[in-house]
Structure 1
Amino acid sequence: MPKRIPPLSDPQIRNAKPKNKDYKLMDGYGLFLLVTPSSGKLWRFDYRFGNKRKTMALGTYPAIPLEEARKRREDAKALLAHNIDPSGIKKAKKAAGEDADANSFEVVAREWHVKFSPSWSDSHAFWVIRRLEQYVFPDIGARPIGDLKAPDVLKVLRRIETLTLETAHRVKFVIGQVFRYAVGSGRADRDPTADLKGLLPPRSQKHHAAITEPKEVAGLLRAIDGFTGTFTVKCAMQLAPLVFLRPGELRQAEWSEFDLGAAEWNIPIERMKLKKRVKEYRAGQKHLVPLSSQAIAILQSLKALTGQSKYVFPSARSFTRPMSNMAINAALERMGYKGEMTAHGFRALARTILDEVLQCRVDLVEHQLGHAVKDPNGRAYNRTAHLSERRKMMQVWADYLEGLKVGAKVLPLKRVEI
């Protein structure tokens, strides 16, 4: 007697997470959901016809919900009962231009994402497809992309706008890219987002909040040491002012990038903004961050907890993903610094005090910030440029912050020779 397969449920499908390779969630009677490493959820129907095993595509989730997938399975089984190959019927319809699924917005969007995402950062690739799945596919994902007009897209954007204007603008840009890809591949005539110019309120121009006054910095550092949330987030906040990298570069840090014995953190240039700004940087180069003794101590204490993960700061939900991009900002808000300090603000904190208080050389500070810095001949500094001076600067900086934290008297305008 064949083993009975428990049917799938909507929560089970919705919560299915990608793994390193494709895997199946069986619904029974030949229907299953194929979950891909790129977060795709694809309905498939296994059957036999003419003594051959075949697999038929039934669409993608959530554009095709569970009940619709089951209906398509039953339709296919009805054809089989009359000795008709359902895949043959589908191919005939596609040849006749009647298969809307093949040209649906979701199919085209996922095809575009697969084609271009390898050149993006992991974080950007994740959030592009996540926003499409969350905000766009449920509304227009199943519709033929060539039939969609500007009002259809505007309706989607208006709904997002009620939640977050910034995300609405980002989704509009992504939708436009998908449409332009569809135009190029002959599945749409034009990009309707061009007709929506000015219909969304403009983004508010705002700077990242940052504390730069030494006395206020001292209070912030003490508040971080007293943080009662997760240890991983606390360590990230403690390390942030010591390395003053971009938030994404910090939270995506991997243990393989660190040499604690040499007190160095070597960040692949591929995941830094510096790569896009300086043509002289080549694939495989790294941005070197000298580590102070205080930074080493934080990392050593953290390694006992997260050393088995690829990431130094893994997600609280899974060691296979980095910490959320909102974790540090949420922690700062919990500590009472909403509107005063952000994860990105640690860069402004360092830039201001290193220049105006410690009076360190600007080129050393800019190089350590990961900005494009060139030598007198107009060439990008290599990764080891002025390494001894930068090591000294980073230790002086860490000692200065430690002095602020414990309440030591710090002479604000004393020049430090670097």
Structure 2
Amino acid sequence: MLTDTAVKKAERRDKPYKMADSGGLYLHVAPTGSKSWRMKFRFDGKEKLLTFGPYPEVKLSEARERRDEARRQIRDHIDPSGARRRAREGRDQQALDEARAVSFEAAARAWFDLQKGRWAPVHADDVITSLERDVFPAFGARALTEIDAPAVLKALRAVEDRGSIETAKRLRQRISAVFAMYISEGVVALDPAAAVGKALRPLPKKGRQPALTDVDEARGVLIAAEASGASPVTKLASRLLALTQSRPGMIRGAEWEEFEGIDWTGERYGPFMPLWRVPAARMKLVSDLKAEEAFEHLIPLPWQAVDALLAVRRLSGRGRLVFPSQRHSHRPLSENAIGYLYNRVGYHGRHVPHGWRAAFSTTMNALAKRQRRVGDDDVIELMLAHVPANKVKAAYDRAGHMERRRELSQEWADMLMKGLAPANDVLGGRRRGS
């Protein structure tokens, strides 16, 4: 019989060899010097082999215990190699059963945690918020295997019924992605969201976004919105959006550290117009440009925009985001908050948040044509962050014509904000919600 010392001192040789213990147990020593416990036995007239694991992870005493258990199974006419396989399969089946019992919400959050690293923070927030708002209440508590196509369609119909056709389609894709992950892991066999795609309503034909391009009519949108009982954060986000020619997503994801040259005490304005430096990752650029610092966007801030920032800083200045969600300060304002506000005050189908860009472009281009301002059309395109086809030119121009951009920005602000109250007045009569 073997001893611990003999096993420990066994040295490698040019060829593999065995060191016998008893009852069919032996130590196998490979030419590499690795050692493992094995046992030969006969069952139903056939010679078979068991492996008990490597030494020193499996000690001599443990190898003998496993040998004795195998011999007991042989006496009871049980193939020990088959018993081990069945035990392993049993454990696998138990794990699979447990996975199948996982709720859709737990599965979706696991999928989201795997994916969010490749998304911009604002998009990641949109993804999880849309699931929390529209999907989890519908069937988030149900097990993956209990969810069928009618359940998915019912949840998405509720989204369509409020007019959010595109959101419903995006949600179907996200639900499908969750199921795809668990299909690949063998937890479920089918994706119930796949069959729902053709049952959803088609997107309306895309045309121009509704926009009031007359500056006096456009000003009426701000007056009506700011006279409403909406959250002051939403109203100030609307005001800054109108003043900066930015896209709604840029406003929602704005962080305090992106603003330069502002005296946050509000006691003075410096000799140079402050800037908003929007990182390339948050711009509407093709994916291969989003990591390039050269494609960040610089927005000159007229004094009315600074006034709005100073006001909202009283509400959100302790956090990272300029315009946080009402419910979760670490998340940005809802993607629909400003649009819903405009709808509620009578501008449904007439003016959308993105429409401020059209209002600015139409007004300033018409002014340039009327006053024969040569070159203003190119400057306006820069202010709208329209990336030229030539990447080198785009990188060079990111800060180009900055002096003229400052002048046009202030000119637009003076026209648009004529007669409007200071931003601090928007803080009065604060209400929750948006």
TM range (shorter): 0.5 to 0.7
The question of 1:301 aligning with 2:311 is answered yes
Answer yes or no: is the 8 Å Cα contact 1:374–1:381 preserved in 2.
Answer: no
Q: Using the TM superposition, name which of 258-267 and 368-377 deviates more.
A: 368-377
The question of 1:271 aligning with 2:282 is answered yes
1: distance between equivalents of 2:289 and 2:187?
Answer: 36
1: distance between equivalents of 2:322 and 2:216?
Answer: 30
What amino acid maps onto 1:365 in structure 2?
I
1:373 equivalent among 348, 366, 388 = 388
- Secondary structure of residue in 2 paired with 1:289: strand
The question of 1:286 aligning with 2:296 is answered yes
Which residues in structure 2 correspond to 1:125-204 (within 5 Å)? 125-137=124-136, 138-139=138-139, 142-145=142-145, 150=149, 153-154=152-153, 156-158=155-157, 160-162=159-161, 166=165, 167-189=167-189, 191-204=191-204
1:384 equivalent among 396, 399, 405 = 399
Answer yes or no: is the 8 Å Cα contact 2:216–2:416 preserved in 1.
Answer: no
What amino acid maps onto 1:116 in structure 2?
Q
2: distance between equivalents of 1:150 and 1:281?
Answer: 39
Q: 1:148 to 1:323 in 2, by over 3 A?
A: closer
Q: 1:337 to 1:245 in 2, by over 3 A?
A: same
User: Aligned residue for 1:239?
Assistant: 240
CA positional deviation for 1:265: 0.6
Answer yes or no: is the 8 Å Cα contact 1:269–1:285 preserved in 2.
Answer: yes
CA positional deviation for 1:141: 5.5
User: Aligned residue for 1:23?
Assistant: none
Structure 1 residues not aligned, in runs of 5+: 1-90, 407-418
User: Aligned residue for 1:327?
Assistant: 337
2: distance between equivalents of 1:379 and 1:260?
Answer: 24
2: distance between equivalents of 1:148 and 1:231?
Answer: 41
What per-residue deviation string (whole Å, max 9, x for no partner) do you get for residues 174-221 of structure 1? 122223333444444554544344222212235532111233234335
CA positional deviation for 1:247: 1.2
- Secondary structure of residue in 2 paired with 1:96: helix
Q: 1:176 to 1:322 in 2, by over 3 A?
A: closer
CA positional deviation for 1:144: 4.3
Q: 1:173 to 1:237 in 2, by over 3 A?
A: same
Answer yes or no: is the 8 Å Cα contact 2:221–2:342 preserved in 1.
Answer: no
The question of 1:353 aligning with 2:352 is answered no
User: Aligned residue for 2:26?
Assistant: none
Q: 1:379 to 1:281 in 2, by over 3 A?
A: farther
Answer yes or no: is the 8 Å Cα contact 1:280–1:379 preserved in 2.
Answer: no
CA positional deviation for 1:289: 0.8
What amino acid maps onto 2:176 in structure 1?
G
Answer yes or no: is the 8 Å Cα contact 1:101–1:144 preserved in 2.
Answer: no
2: distance between equivalents of 1:195 and 1:293?
Answer: 53
What per-residue deviation string (whole Å, max 9, x for no partner) do you get for residues 54-85 of structure 1? xxxxxxxxxxxxxxxxxxxxxxxxxxxxxxxx
1: distance between equivalents of 2:94 and 2:182?
Answer: 16
Q: 1:183 to 1:305 in 2, by over 3 A?
A: closer
User: Aligned residue for 1:338?
Assistant: 348
- Secondary structure of residue in 1 paired with 2:414: helix
CA positional deviation for 1:353: 1.4
Q: RCO higher in 1 or 2 (8 Å CA, sep ≥ 6)? A: 2
Structure 2 residues not aligned, in runs of 5+: 1-87, 263-271, 370-374, 422-434
User: Aligned residue for 1:96?
Assistant: 93
